[in-house]
Amino acid sequence: MTQSETTAAKPEVRPSAPPEPANLKAVGNRPGMYLTTPGALDAGDAHLARIRELGLEPCILEIEVRGYTVIPPQLVAPPEFTARVRDALLRVAEKRTGVKHSIDRNGCAGNASYLSSPGFFGMLYLLLEDPVFEEWIENPVLGTLVDYTLKGQGRLSSFDALVKWKDAGQIDSDLLTDALHSDSPRWPDGKLLDGGNLMTNSAYILTDYSKENGSIAMVPGSHRLGRLPYPGEGLKDMVPVEAPAGSLIFWKGATWHGGAYPKLTDGLRLTMNTTFFNRSLKTVESYQRAVPKEVLDRRNRQFALFVGADDMSGFGPEGPQPAYLEPAHFF
């Protein structure tokens, strides 16, 4: 159950607005000076309870101090779930490339239309490709970390997979070591919107990550800068994220990272990425109107909120369409 579920599911137990100070004249009482949203301040305790229940306190600490964390497989999902995601991604890889893929063999971009470079291709827009991807959007650990980092305002922005394998062109590529970046929306001068705090990213890894296996690189502490790196900046401070298959790597929008290590071993590196934006931002992929009602009907409230099913903005001349909202999804 999400934090917002806890508050919205039982409106009758929501605390009312905090009492106003007795002497309003002394402290001033101009409109907008006080936080009056009912329930807004109880979010802290509700978040904390959920974080503790899932054993995520060390992860929150790492997110704050280093800008990223690795959640071990046993906290994320059972091994069978990891296997189902892996199988589904291999099915999509075959569909998108026209080539049968297997974890133990090197890949082939074939007809893949997006992000194809030596030893690498990406697969976009996965949410509706298989019910196991829908299930991922209901994952409590993912939901808790997104709610924490985006203050309960997260919306699924993209749902992609990355397929990487050993290739001489990749090993020789300068581009890989130059690939450190932040995923956050930014201003033209390279400063990140709200210091990068309006988005967050996650990688559910389906194969073991090590430097030799071409893992992702992170620059610990870089999230504090709130800007993009200058060319070459961060390269000497980056570290490989080494973790077993089934782990979840979760990072702040501001954190510098990149696919900086070439894959030196045979077989695939397979990764499923879900990024989340503050709900007021335009998302990278567009799920708000794309998720069919029958999908919403079989999914929970966390899923509905993450795909923006409650968001009526962006309507046409017909006006807001509250029919899109089934109360069952929200309470």
Ligand X SMILES: O=C(O)CCC(=O)C(=O)O
Among 51, 216, 248, 304, binds ligand X (CB under 6 A): 216
Alpha-carbon Rg for the chain in angstroms: 21
In this structure, what are the phi and psi dihedrals at residue 163, rounded to the nearest 5 degrees? Answer: -120, 125
Which residues within the stretch 170-199 sit at the binding site for ligand X (CB under 6 A)? 183
Q: Choose from ligand X, Fe ion, none: what does 155 bind? Cβ within 5-8 Å by kind.
A: none
Question: CB of 93 within 8 A of CB of 87?
Answer: no
Which residues within the stretch 240-259 sit at the binding site for ligand X (CB under 6 A)? 257-259
Bridge partner list, 68? 251
* Contacts of residue 316, Cβ cutoff 8 Å, sequence gap at least 6: none
Q: Which is nearer to ligand X, 67 or 259 (CB)?
A: 259
One-letter amino acid identity for 251?
A: W
CA-closest candidate to residue 85, choices 301, 295, 270, 209: 270
Among 4, 149, 201, 288, binds ligand X (CB under 6 A): 201
Q: Which is nearer to ligand X, 151 or 211 (CB)?
A: 211
3-state helix, strand, coil in the chain (%, to 5): 35, 15, 50
Among 90, 127, 183, 259, binds Fe ion (CB under 5 A): 183
Residue with tokens 């991604």: 89
Q: Choose from ligand X, Fe ion, none: what does 170 bind? Cβ within 5-8 Å by kind.
A: none
Interface with ligand X, residue 162, by CB under 6 A = yes
Site string for ligand X, 276-295 (x = CB under 6 A): --------------------
The C-alpha atoms of residue 260 and residue 173 are separated, in whole angstroms, by 10
User: Which structure tokens are listed for 113?
Assistant: 């239309």
Bridge partner list, 2? none
Q: Which is nearer to Fe ion, 120 or 324 (CB)?
A: 120
Q: Which residue number is nearest to ligand X in terms of Cβ?
A: 259
Residue with tokens 């133990």: 104
In this structure, what are the phi and psi dihedrals at residue 242, rounded to the nearest 5 degrees? Answer: -110, 125
Q: Choose from ligand X, Fe ion, none: what does 197 bind? Cβ within 5-8 Å by kind.
A: none
Rounded to a whole number of angstroms, the minimum distance from the CB of residue 191 to ligand X is 19
Question: CB of 56 within 8 A of CB of 234?
Answer: no
User: Which structure tokens are listed for 206?
Assistant: 């389906």
In this structure, what are the phi and psi dihedrals at residue 68, rounded to the nearest 5 degrees? Answer: -160, 165
Interface with ligand X, residue 273, by CB under 6 A = yes
Rounded to a whole number of angstroms, the minimum distance from the CB of residue 158 to ligand X is 9
Rounded to a whole number of angstroms, the minimum distance from the CB of residue 257 to Fe ion is 6
Q: Which residue number is nearest to Fe ion in terms of Cβ?
A: 183
Q: Which is nearer to ligand X, 77 or 260 (CB)?
A: 260
Residue with tokens 């906290």: 75
* Number of residues lying near Fe ion (CB under 5 A): 1
Q: Choose from Fe ion, ligand X, none: what does 162 bind? Cβ within 5-8 Å by kind.
A: ligand X
Tell me which residues touch ligand X (CB under 6 A): 162, 183, 201, 203, 216, 257-259, 271, 273
Tell me which residues touch Fe ion (CB under 5 A): 183
